[in-house]
Amino acid sequence: MSRTPPSAPAATPGEKPPHRQSRLGLVALILAVLALPAALSLVLGIIVAVIVLIVGLVALIRATRVREISTGQPVVAVVVAIAALILASVVTSAANDRVQDCGARTYDDARECLQGDN
């Protein structure tokens, strides 16, 4: 007596296929979360945020082209990367304004200005 496993129920014509999570989307999301603390670094924050934004956009484009891949993680990654980019830009701009207000002309003067209470 052979026992056959039950087959999966047939999808109805209007039913969407099940979505799977993209590894690239997960990587983009993890990098986006890590980009937020990196955004507090001066120029490095902008560089990291741009790289994460590119990875997130690639994951999102891939997810929109392949119907079986969910777009949830890539969308969140792109939004968080944009927030990190904005935060990094504000931090870098504020540091630049502070250095200009101090009148620093050399790297050492700028570092002293940012660390001190000038």
pLDDT given for residue 56 in this prediction: 93
Q: pLDDT (tens digit, 9 = 90+) per residue, 57-104?
A: 999 999 888 888 888 889 999 999 999 999 999 998 888 888 888 877
* Residue of 98, 117, 99 whose CA lies nearest to 108: 99
pLDDT given for residue 1 in this prediction: 53
89/5 Cα distance (integer angstroms): 58
CB 84 within 8 A of CB 36: yes
pLDDT given for residue 85 in this prediction: 94
28/49 Cα distance (integer angstroms): 11
Is the pLDDT score of 112 beyond 90?
A: no
- Give 36's Cβ-side CA count (13 Å radius): 10
pLDDT given for residue 4 in this prediction: 55
pLDDT given for residue 3 in this prediction: 62
